[in-house]
Amino acid sequence: MATIDVDGMTCAVCVSRVESVISELDGISNVAVNLAKGSASFSGTVDVENVIAAVNRSGYKASKPINYFQKWKSEKEKSNREIKISTISLVYSLLAMYYIMTAKSDQTMFGFFSMCIVLGLNWKVVQKGLDSIVYGVNMYTLVLLAFCCALFWSLTNMDQAMWEATFIVIAFVGFGDSLESLARSSATSSFAELSSMVSVGNIEVGDELSLSAGMVVPVDGTVLDGWTDVEQSVITGENMPVPVKSGDPVWAGSTILDGSVVIRADADSGSSRIDEVIRLVDKSQSQKAEIEKTVDKIARIFVPLVILLAVSTFLFWRPTMGTESSLRMAITVMIIACPCAMGLATPIALFVGTSVGAKNGILLKGHRALEAASKIDVVVFDKTGTLTTGDFEVVADNEECLRIAASLEIHTNHPIATAIVKSCSDTYEASDVTTIPGWGVKGKIDGKSYSVGKGHDGIEVKQGESLLGLIRIKDTIRKDAVDALRFLDSVILSSGDKESEVRRVATELNITDARSNQTPEDKLELIESLSNVAMVGDGINDSAALAASDLGIAVSSATGVADVSSDIVLTRDGLMSTIDALDLASKTRTNIRQNLVWAFGYNLLALPVAMGALYHSHGLVLPPWSAAAAMSLSSMCVILNSIRLRWSFERGMARRRHGSRITPR
């Protein structure tokens, strides 16, 4: 899908308008607009320039996308500047309103002067209102109509003018917009930090690059010369420095801490692992949940409905309250309604959730993960590379048999042979070494024949027919496995390994349901027999089960196929990341629902009050300025609640790692 930046969107109505404009172009097959990021993604045969032109004609400002970090930094600077201007405007407006309402003399000139000052400082609010009349109604249509009504009344009824209503609403909306923009930049800071790691330039596979302390690795590569410690938390989520030397891989986005190295690029610019992470996060943030699509449909009729309610309010109360009071109530109805909160409820929470997840090594690939995470009853784990590290632990009966085995195995490249060689510090000179597929190796040392191969109880090391000792290979269990499994109520171990090894791992981890010698078909059959099940795996043989499960989680060592088949990808090592992922998905879903409850609840309660529902019983009539404040506060509550998601999740991560039991579901 192609993507463009779209500036000027403020609410769900704006999102619907931009989607409609792009969808109407011939050749467009799919459109997704992201309010939180200010972008639109689309697929089809239409040229990008034509889409940009169409969006610009609709009253919004479209452009080709730039690096998100640069865009975020620019918008944050603009937000800081606008919040200062709008604060001055609001303070002045409140003082001016107080003066006008308490002064005994005519304040027409002062009121008109104050209106001009506030309009000058908040001209964007008026401009958005005028654009909405031409290109499609939204919340600013309501603000503009309220302003025009107050201005018309004040100009035609000087003795009963409501000058304060002409500028206090504009001031509150301008302040709310700038505060919302500043909060939105704070909410999206995690994704901006991640985007800042994307390389720029034209590096190609095979290029050699010299990097020194303090530099960021621009592309994935392999160290050719030198040594250093690198900090690669942007990829793994781990802050602990990792030593690298000649032959070791390094990831784009990692920081060189000391020393210097020469690396060979293993990927072109834009094709490194960090770039794939960015694209994955970006895709998940551009997708829409069914609830969000429903909200967009409601938003399309929301503004016309509010205008109708405002007119009805004026006509209903005019006979009993008079023209001025009923007009104030109609203005209040138009101002207090807030489609912004509805439009932001889902995308801003999803934006925060996916961004903070990526920062901590958790990639949520879409809404399916959010919906499924809160319903999981049982978690099925693969063994090798998931519950275990995939690094073999070698245990030998004696040092001599280990040395002989290493002397022969050094001539092969089997993973078990590599583990045996690594565990031995010294070897003999061997000759006539022959590999016997599926069994082991044979060879000579000092003219004597030796063999290393499979036996009943382990790997047998023999001189001729005499057994010198046994070597046993164990797959090392992850250090955090026991602690992580404490947070799950029902766990099944499904592994293709032999029964004795699976039983050993299950016993150490207190897993009662452990299944060995499982083929990919067996794993798939197991998953299909269960409901509300999550599958955690890392290999090609897990791909079918990952895809068939309600929630597929691919761990850090996962193959490409496993990544594609899963709903969540973990880039941080360790099993506790699985618990973190379930927690984040569940918290994000809860946060979205909280936002929607607040957004709809606010409008359902605020509109009747503004229409005078409490006038007869309590004598309560809301003035226009309070409506403007309430409207701005509604959007801010949604944004601040979404920002709270980041704090809540990271606090939970810290507590889990310090031994406190916090149920992640």
Q: Please write the tens of the pLDDT for every residue from 377-399.
A: 999 998 877 888 877 788 899 99
Of 85-94, 276-285, 353-362, 376-385, the poorest mean pLDDT is in: 276-285
Q: What is the pLDDT of residues 266-321, one digit of tens each?
A: 887 766 666 666 665 555 555 555 666 666 667 668 778 888 999 999 999 999 99
Q: What is the pLDDT of residues 459-479, one digit of tens each?
A: 899 999 999 999 988 778 888
**What are the tokens at 371?**
């919906």
Indicate the fold that domain 208-270 takes in CATH: 2.70.150
The pLDDT assigned to 275 comes to 67
**What are the tokens at 73?**
């930094």
Which has the closest alpha carbon to 48: 65, 61, 32, 36?
Answer: 65
User: Do 523 and 541 meet the contact criterion of CB atoms below 8 Å apart?
Assistant: yes
User: Do 357 and 373 meet the contact criterion of CB atoms below 8 Å apart?
Assistant: no
Asked whether residue 527 carries a pLDDT value surpassing 80, the answer given is yes
Residue of higher predicted confidence among 84 and 268: 84
How far, CA to CA in Å, does 94 sit from each of 7, 86, 149, 167, 250? 30, 12, 20, 10, 57
The pLDDT assigned to 185 comes to 67
Question: Which pairs with CB-CB distance under 8 Å and at least 24 residues apart come from 153-160?
Answer: 153/324, 153/327, 154/111, 157/324, 158/106, 158/108, 160/324
Beta strands in 117-270 (DSSP E): 208-212, 221-231, 242-244, 249-250, 255-256, 260-265
The pLDDT assigned to 512 comes to 93
Of 76-80, 198-202, 423-427, 661-665, the poorest mean pLDDT is in: 661-665
159: left (phi over 0), alpha (psi -120 to 50) or beta: alpha
Query: 378-530: same fold as 2-65?
Result: no
Asked whether residue 240 carries a pLDDT value surpassing 60, the answer given is no
Residue of higher predicted confidence among 565 and 500: 500
The reply to whether the predicted model has a pTM over 0.85 is: no
Q: How many CB atoms lie within 10 A of CB 530?
A: 16
For the chain, give the mean pLDDT.
82
3-state secondary structure 414-435: CHHHHHHHHCCCCCCCEEEEEE
Q: How large is the average pLDDT for residues 167-184?
A: 76
| Strand pairing category for 362-364 and 491-494 | unpaired
**What are the tokens at 150?**
């107050």
User: Do 309 and 607 meet the contact criterion of CB atoms below 8 Å apart?
Assistant: yes
Asked whether residue 403 carries a pLDDT value surpassing 90, the answer given is yes
Asked whether residue 119 carries a pLDDT value surpassing 90, the answer given is yes
d(CA 498, CA 295): 52
**What are the tokens at 508?**
């150490």
Per DSSP, helices labelled H in 423-554 are 481-485, 499-508, 520-529, 543-548
Asked whether residue 242 carries a pLDDT value surpassing 80, the answer given is no
| Band of residue 340 on the pLDDT scale cut at 50, 70, 90 | low
Percent of the chain with pLDDT over 90: 22
The pLDDT assigned to 663 comes to 44
Asked whether residue 63 carries a pLDDT value surpassing 90, the answer given is no
Indicate the fold that domain 378-530 takes in CATH: Calcium-transporting ATPase, cytoplasmic domain N (3.40.1110)
Asked whether residue 182 carries a pLDDT value surpassing 90, the answer given is no
d(CA 594, CA 13): 21
- Tell me which H or E stretch contains 40: strand 39-44
Q: What is the CA radius of gyration of the chain?
A: 32
CA dihedral 356, 64, 365, 347 (to 10 degrees): 60
Coil, strand or helix: which one is 450? Answer: strand
Domain boundaries, the chain: 2-65, 68-167, 208-270, 378-530
Asked whether residue 506 carries a pLDDT value surpassing 90, the answer given is yes
Of 169-178, 216-225, 419-428, the poorest mean pLDDT is in: 169-178
Indicate the fold that domain 2-65 takes in CATH: Alpha-Beta Plaits (3.30.70)
Q: How large is the average pLDDT for residues 559-582?
A: 76
The pLDDT assigned to 659 comes to 59
Asked whether residue 329 carries a pLDDT value surpassing 50, the answer given is yes
| Band of residue 661 on the pLDDT scale cut at 50, 70, 90 | very low
Q: Which of 149-153, 256-260, 559-563, 580-584 has the highest mean pLDDT?
A: 580-584
The pLDDT assigned to 236 comes to 53
The pLDDT assigned to 664 comes to 43
Which residues are within 8 A (CB) of 66 and not within 5 positions of it... i.e. 6 or more apart?
5
Query: Would you please indicate which residues are annotated as catalytic (active-site) residues?
Result: 382
The pLDDT assigned to 560 comes to 47
User: Do 165 and 622 meet the contact criterion of CB atoms below 8 Å apart?
Assistant: no
| Band of residue 237 on the pLDDT scale cut at 50, 70, 90 | very low
Q: How large is the average pLDDT for residues 87-95?
A: 90
| Band of residue 259 on the pLDDT scale cut at 50, 70, 90 | confident
Q: How large is the average pLDDT for residues 41-57?
A: 90
Angle 333-334-339 (CA atoms, 0-180°, nearest 5)?
Answer: 110
| Band of residue 565 on the pLDDT scale cut at 50, 70, 90 | low
Q: How large is the average pLDDT for residues 441-452?
A: 93
